[in-house]
Structure 1
């Protein structure tokens, strides 16, 4: 029976653990030979208090963890991809209408990558209109172009766009790593359960220090 040595929240019952263990879920996937980093939607609207979806208290440690990971990834010369919502007002409004039933939506600088993690000139920013970084974008093709076999996924929110991206990364046969401190959600329960589900089915949930250490070996 599988030993649950990875990410398991305290509120997950013994019977639930046994159910996953019976199907041999939660076993470690491991690293490939060529990783890339995908930073999902760490934008102003999720990190700044003035936005309805934003919380600086929630994301302060997230930004610090991502900065450490990105510094290591850049030193190792790994490909780095960012995602954000559309910058075009009309496209963003249509996307919000479809999602929220016609609520007014002004983009402004909401979908800009937060200043603390500003992409470098050689790092690609992908605009998306759906939760997954892969849906209706060229991300999968770009990863294949770079011979990537391992996707390190960070960002917000854990239960939303991060989880959707992780599921699609797995569906595209990429080994998928999620540094636990590099993702965040507005609700603790959603965050914890999303990490657990991803660990059981789609990804390795690892301490950020372990991921940073692995990335540094590549340089």
Structure 2
């Protein structure tokens, strides 16, 4: 197993209301715990950020349809949460769609490093994290969804994504303790 830790969309904008912040302190602690373990084991860490261009060239269909401005380059809302442990050993992947694989060089980076397993965390389990998990599976990467280090404020959609990942794709959803134990064995 050659894993990478992938943290998705831990940006200010995604926590803009109380329903989205309900588990934020625990989420940050869980993500930082996995970052510490990955650093200790010299496992590559990717911080994935959704960032759009002001000229609308990267906007998705819904953004264009409703002229919905969000996560623009240089905006405060697009910044990584300051509580997330980040340093220059972590690579930033900028995406403009829900899956980290769409319109990025992410797959090529993983293949260059011979990565075969992605440990995924961040927000939202029903959205960007889940869609990255599905696309990783479709590209023949093993997926470990970090249950405590990912979150969704839409619980029924999160449960549906858990079912797809675990039952249909036969991938893993593990606690931080299970992930740490697994990583310490490699």
TM norm. shorter chain > 0.5: yes
Structure 1, residues 135-158: CA drift from partner, whole Å, max 9, x if none?
111111101111111111111111
Which position in structure 1 is the counterpart of 2:159?
Answer: 192
TM-aligned CA distance change 1:178 to 1:155, over 3 Å: same
Larger Rg: 1
**Where has structure 1 moved over 3 Å in runs of 4 or more?**
none
Q: Which residue, 119, 124, 131 being the options, matches 1:164? A: 131
Distance 1:131 1:157 in 2: 10
Say if 2:44 is the partner of 1:79: yes
Matches within 5 A, 1:132-143: 132-143=99-110
Structure 2, unpaired ranges of 5+: none
Structure 1, unpaired ranges of 5+: 1-32
Q: Which residue, 28, 40, 62 being the options, matches 1:99? A: 62
Structure 1, residues 140-198: CA drift from partner, whole Å, max 9, x if none?
11011111111111111111111110011111111111111111011222222211221
Corresponding residue pairs, total: 181
SS in 2 for 1:55: helix
SS in 2 for 1:132: coil
SS in 2 for 1:63: helix
8 Å Cα contact 1:62/1:183 also seen in 2? yes
The RMSD of aligned alpha carbons is: 1.9
8 Å Cα contact 2:117/2:142 also seen in 1? yes
Query: What TM-score comes out, normalization by structure 1 length?
Result: 0.76
